[in-house]
Amino acid sequence: MTVTTRFAPSPTGRLHMGHAFSAITAHDHARARGGRFLLRIEDIDGTRSRAEHVETIVADLRWLGLAWDGDMVWQSARLDHYAAALERLRALGLLYRCYCTRAEIAEAMSAPHGAVAVYPGTCRGAPRRDAPHCWRIDMAAAVARCGDLSWTDHGGRVANEALAQGDVVLARKDAPASYHLAVTIDDAAQGVTDVVRGVDLFEATHVHRVLQALLGLPVPRWHHHALLTGADGQRLAKRHGAPTLAALREAGVDGAAVAAALRAGRLP
């Protein structure tokens, strides 16, 4: 099977050097194996996604010298697929409505008897109400149904630990799918064989692996890469004042030289 990787940015802001590194790593992983590199625009978040950011992403990738195969895929055009998957999971009895507001969740997670890191399942088994809700997966039930799962990261076996992720959201109040659901469906639909992305999404992979098992989807190989850090060891992100790719491009910086430096493991 042709090795296929993808870069899947959310067009909610400008790309920075960390995105460039991720895109180059995914691109080179495929090209080194005679494979395909795809571009997917993760724009299900209608309130934060902007078309102008997509144009900038395209310009940034071209500036870096990265070319992708086929047309870019827009998640906003694929909502029917997410709805169908949700329906299947609902039919398995694995989803429940969650009416909690952000404030209620924050409060529940910082309860005096010890802060918890995941949604505590407040609405699991709650009576149905006529109120805005998201859909969560009952992770304990899902894991019980799937049995032991594992996956590979850089070829090494990882035991799946989705329970620690809790009852994550699969369809949001304000969006018909969550990141977890959309990314899982799309990687399968696009024939992605190798998911190359930052290690900040390592934990999310446990969730994706469960969704693949429940929906009978193929299981890719994962290659989570380290995140770029600045001289101070801090993760490079806009909030640390790192320039965006667009700013560098507009200032006349050579994109090919930036890509070469990142490939050589140097910060340009």
Residues within the interface to ligand GLU (CB under 6 A): 8-10, 42, 183, 197, 201
Taking the least distance from each CB to ligand GLU, the nearer of 12 and 150 is 12
| Shortest reach from residue 240's CB to ligand GLU, in Å | 17
Q: What is the largest CA-CA distance in the chain?
A: 59
Taking the least distance from each CB to ligand GLU, the nearer of 45 and 167 is 45
Displacement of CA 128 from its chain's centroid (Å): 30
28: Cα within 13 Å, side-chain hemisphere:
15
| Shortest reach from residue 81's CB to ligand GLU, in Å | 16
| Shortest reach from residue 40's CB to ligand GLU, in Å | 8
Residue identified by tokens 């049995």 is 147
Taking the least distance from each CB to ligand GLU, the nearer of 50 and 129 is 50
Sign of the CA dihedral running 250, 237, 194, 144? negative
| Shortest reach from residue 194's CB to ligand GLU, in Å | 12
Taking the least distance from each CB to ligand GLU, the nearer of 63 and 222 is 222
d(CA 64, CA 254): 8
Rounded to 5 degrees, what are φ and ψ at 110?
A: -115, 35
> What residues are annotated to the active site?
238
Residue identified by tokens 């304990």 is 140
**Residue pair 95/89 in contact by the 8 Å Cβ criterion:** yes
d(CA 62, CA 155): 30
Tell how strand 134-137 and strand 169-171 pair up.
Answer: antiparallel
| Shortest reach from residue 141's CB to ligand GLU, in Å | 25
d(CA 170, CA 243): 33
Taking the least distance from each CB to ligand GLU, the nearer of 10 and 122 is 10
